[in-house]
Amino acid sequence: MSRRIHECDHVRERMPCTRIAQAVNDGIFHGSPEVVLEDDAVLKRLQAYLSMSPVAFIGTAVLLDMANLLPLFLMHPHKTLCRLNAPERSAFLHGLLHADSFLKRLIGNMICLPFKLAYAGSPEVHASLNIPFYKERIQPEPESRWMKQIFPANTFDGNESIEADVVVVGTGAGGAVVAKELAEKGLAVAIIEEGQFYRRHAFNGNPIEMMSLLYRVMGLTSAIGNCVIPIPMGRAVGGTTLINSATCYRAPDDVLLSWVAHGLADLTPEKMAPYFERVEEHIHVQECEAKYIGPIGEIIRDGCGKMGYSHGPLRHNTLDCDGQAVCVLGCPKDAKQSTNIAYIPKALNSAAQLFTGFRVRDILTEGETAVGIRAYGIGKKDCSVSLTCSAKAVILACGTLITPNVLRRNNLVRGNRWVGRNLTIHPSTYVGAIFPDRELKNANTIPQGYMVDEFFQEGIMFEGATAPFTVLGLTMPGVGKEYTDLLRAYDHLAVFGFMIKDSSTGIVRPGMRDLPLIYYRMNAEDTQKLVKAMFILCDIFRAAGAEKLILPTFNHPVIDTTADLEHAKRKRWRPMDFILSAYHPLGTARMGISRMDSVIDRDHQCHAVPGLFVVDGSSVPTSLGVNPQMTIMALATRAAERIACILEQEGTV
């Protein structure tokens, strides 16, 4: 196919720096005879994505200008990118992506990612690989009676005031659970949620559309430090439980015992067991079925069998799962028992009220006591409206990255050094492997259903983590034929993930436009865990017969031979060398025995602020080493008992 630069009037009129964009696109896909889209089709699709966000539009324009000028300063004096020929453009971009310099690699990836997204996220590329671009939508069920208890901000004409016994801010693993438990005890509960309530017919399985709908800032919330680590957050009723991979683990006994040793005597494995059992029964925790785990489970089983490693299926909170493969994009069958399915309806059936589209900014106090909240949203005719809720108890369950900033912005828990500190995230990544003789069925099996727990006591946990094709298209390395060949090998691409129990900690502070500013610096111990885990997984894949390995690194990630692998094992790796992500932020309003070591007490109540409670991942004292959903839910179940008891003792309900 010809790779000439097409002059498309529509694109030229609306795409920032059109001529440069065409040159970049030409460089990325040069030498790819099997490329599916022509240049103008990629640019049109990129334009459509950029039109969703003025910030993205401006940022891309700046990047393109930078891309045009970089050759002048780096490899091609007296030539801009537009003046290079196609092979020179491709070589230049390849050099950026594989540079030893972190800054060059960062710039190269930032330049290439929008174009890779436009290409891999197109229906044409999906069709060429027989991957569904949309999941078949299930017809919506009739509205249940409890849905009359939902009040979206866009139905409000003006400011409103309400009263309740308890107001809960957030509907994730902490908020939804404590709201349901308190409502079933007969308390009047108001639930405030910044996102919207979506039913299953809204979940079409398309990553770009669903991430825009269900994730905060398209899932791009990130920690910065000695590496950049995206930490995606949900923004809808159900919180991050709506978009997680459904994996369910109890907090390990040794972690609970370490909390007990620091004064949290009620959190022994024996005392926590009934709460875990209650949650497991409620959300239908069960072992994943082999037919939905798919061939990736067989590959890991074969490799671990030869290596002598412990392995097996994961446990999920699902009911009648049929392997839709889009757990992280909202389950279109409601099989995943996220809190919007398992808890919120029961809370509303017990007379709780849910207010959606409202962002809580103000914690109302009388003296030092919390007595309510004030939240803001967009009402009818796009006017700003407020909701004031007076309550006898205020429960923050906004999540680890938001809750501490709500406390800080309201000047609460003043002088407590732990607010926003102690952040742990379970840094994670993946290794890919090509198996030419195996059909992986990635588009029709659950993304995370198998595990290797051999190294759990060392703080390393392996869990399957096959991302949707569009997301994998962003992470696949290289340009030109190297890149498109990896995409075309999707049916033979095995991807498996791992995470580490981190000893590193980070800090959360208020950022711009109510977004968190997250600083996290990975220490040498955790870096070595990552390196060890990466090569353990490489060896497992090689033992299972992998032909080619794809490392989660920016520099020289494709491993073709044993010699290449041995060379990689001898390399000195740094945090900035890895393509990382994290999904389990914890600890920024930790539980403890006094304000000297924590933000909240053993009843989840803030030190020195009666009536204000924190019930979410921020209350978890330390890194767990396993997925935290079950732990947060069990602690929330326990917290509901404590809060109800406190209110009863005070005679306020």
Both 321 and 360 in one domain: the answer is no
* Amino acid 2: pLDDT: 37
Cα 383 to Cα 108: distance, rounded to the nearest angstrom: 42
Cα 619 to Cα 407: distance, rounded to the nearest angstrom: 13
What are 366's strand-pairing partners? 369
Question: What is the β-pairing status of strands 311-313 and 450-452?
Answer: antiparallel
DSSP state of 336: B
Both 316 and 359 in one domain: the answer is no
The dihedrals phi and psi of 327, each to the nearest 5 degrees, come to: -55, -35
HEC letters along 394-424: EEECCCCCCHHHHHHHCCCCCCCCCCCCCEE
Both 437 and 409 in one domain: the answer is no
* Amino acid 3: pLDDT: 38
The last residue of a domain, from among 535, 558, 577: 577
* Amino acid 1: pLDDT: 34
In the numeric block, which tokens belong to residue 577? 């060398």
Both 296 and 439 in one domain: the answer is yes
Q: How many of the other CB atoms lie within 10 Å of CB of 355?
A: 22
In the numeric block, which tokens belong to residue 501? 């129990």
The answer to whether residue 275 is domain-embedded is no
* Close Cβ partners of 17 (under 8 Å, ≥ 6 residues apart): 61, 64, 65, 68
Cα 19 to Cα 12: distance, rounded to the nearest angstrom: 8
Both 465 and 568 in one domain: the answer is yes
**Which segments of the chain have a pLDDT < 70?**
1-16, 52-55, 57, 652-653
The answer to whether residue 271 is domain-embedded is no
* Amino acid 538: pLDDT: 98
Cα 49 to Cα 118: distance, rounded to the nearest angstrom: 8
pTM over 0.85: yes
Both 226 and 320 in one domain: the answer is yes
* Amino acid 218: pLDDT: 87
Both 218 and 311 in one domain: the answer is yes
* Amino acid 45: pLDDT: 85
What CATH number is given to the structural domain containing 640? 3.50.50.60
Question: What is the β-pairing status of strands 612-614 and 393-396?
Answer: parallel
Both 384 and 502 in one domain: the answer is no
SS3 298: helix
* Amino acid 48: pLDDT: 80
The answer to whether residue 303 is domain-embedded is yes
SS3 633: helix
User: What are 23-81's pLDDT values in tens digits?
Assistant: 888 889 998 887 888 878 888 888 887 776 666 767 777 778 877 888 877 777 778 88
User: What are 151-199's pLDDT values in tens digits?
Assistant: 999 999 999 999 999 999 999 999 999 999 999 999 999 999 999 999 9
The last residue of a domain, from among 128, 159, 177: 128
* Amino acid 55: pLDDT: 64
In the numeric block, which tokens belong to residue 1? 């196919």
What CATH number is given to the structural domain containing 480? 3.30.560
* Amino acid 13: pLDDT: 47
Both 561 and 641 in one domain: the answer is no
HEC letters along 423-481: EECCCEEEEEEECCCCCCCHHHCCCCCEEECCCHHHCEEEEECCCCHHHHHHHCCCCHH
Both 326 and 345 in one domain: the answer is no
Both 18 and 149 in one domain: the answer is no
- Domain span at residue 61 reads 9-128
DSSP state of 267: G
User: What are 447-501's pLDDT values in tens digits?
Assistant: 999 999 999 999 999 999 888 999 999 889 999 999 999 999 999 999 999 999 9
The last residue of a domain, from among 77, 103, 128: 128
* Amino acid 15: pLDDT: 57
The answer to whether residue 274 is domain-embedded is no
Both 183 and 329 in one domain: the answer is no
The answer to whether residue 266 is domain-embedded is no
Helix (H) or strand (E) holding 366: strand 359-366
Give the count of domains, the chain: 3
Cα 597 to Cα 341: distance, rounded to the nearest angstrom: 36
